[in-house]
Structure 1
Amino acid sequence: MIGLLIVDDHPVVRDGLRGMFAGDERFRVLGEAADGNEALAVARAVQPDVVLMDLRMPGMDGVTAIRALREQGVPARVLVLTTYDTDSDVLPAIKAGATGYLLKDVPREELFRAVSAAYRGESVLSPAVAGRLMGELRSPAREELSQRELEVLGLIAQGCSNRETAKRLFISEATVKTHLLHAYAKLGVRDRAAAVAAAYARRLLGG
């Protein structure tokens, strides 16, 4: 049996998923969590094989939780199950270490197959998400990033803080923030992680 942890901030969704998997002898729901922090604690306690992870939750969000699970050495595969398939959701989740990414309108049997595939370590992407990722890889940025914006993103990608980036480029922290905001707008993202992921996907950063 494949042991599952269901992570979603909506009790009705958790109840629905629990009932769905309880009716199939291939799966066993080991626990539930309403946010990322709770997911980390429960995952350490019950050692699931697969985590069904929502993304947008209060407190610790799904992407942060996925990253934390990897950093803490929790071996479970993470299968994102969410309503959202925007650039700023998909790219960071995959970059953080999600094995797969499905939307909540997925049919029951397809979800069962996806969980089994994730358990085997296979990547599982809904058609809409796969198409979006391929589009990101093939398309240029909405607007060209300036050389300075690329320099700032490159340092952020290396783990530099705004202060460290400012020091290295001999500019102020306020200027770093301005360059980041301009880069977010051009890349169509909302945060640092998504900007770095999008820049790599569009081959704007080396590596």
Structure 2
Amino acid sequence: WADAQKESGIPQRQKRAFYSHEDWLRHHSSSRHARHMLSSISSRVIMSLVPPVFTFTSVAIGVAIYNTVLRWGYLPSFLPLLHAASLPYELTAPALALLLVFRTEASYSRYVEARKTWTSVISTTKDLARLSAQLVKNPLDVALKSSLLSYAMAFPIALKCHLIYGSDIKNDLQRLLEEDDLTFVLYPSIDQTV
């Protein structure tokens, strides 16, 4: 039953969904806990855990009832009292600590990777601007050089505005791009050949 429940509803070759800013805000909202509790009944993970949790809970209830009945004297006194040593719990604590450390390390690794990527974007943009300034040497192409440099400077700012929710890309790019270039960047689907 649980195995069938785990595999049901999983589409084959499903594309990975990326979060938009709104999805991310919804995911991190304070009401997410109530939403997750309400949807936990239909969760494949929860359904797959029902059999083992039920089994171990039943065994624990049986042991608790046995020990209680034995202490109250309803069973013969030669029967042993069932109890567990604390050693297994003490031995598994370092493993749990390591799991937490690995999770923190993975989070920090993502942060470091993002910083490296951002540094690469800035460096590549500087290289592009330098090459544009060097390659366009004709004095008649000053407008082309200016346009290339403006677009090169605008790219990291546009990327930053895309990544930071609520950024005002128009306000940030107004000082870098001409009005028609800004319109082209903000509304690329509009036909501007007219």
Q: TM-score range by the shorter chain?
A: under 0.3
TM-score normalised to structure 2 length = 0.26
Asked which structure has the greater CA Rg, the reply is: 2
Higher RCO (Cα < 8 Å, 6 or more apart)? 1
Q: Which protein has the bigger strand share? A: 1
TM-score normalised to structure 1 length = 0.25
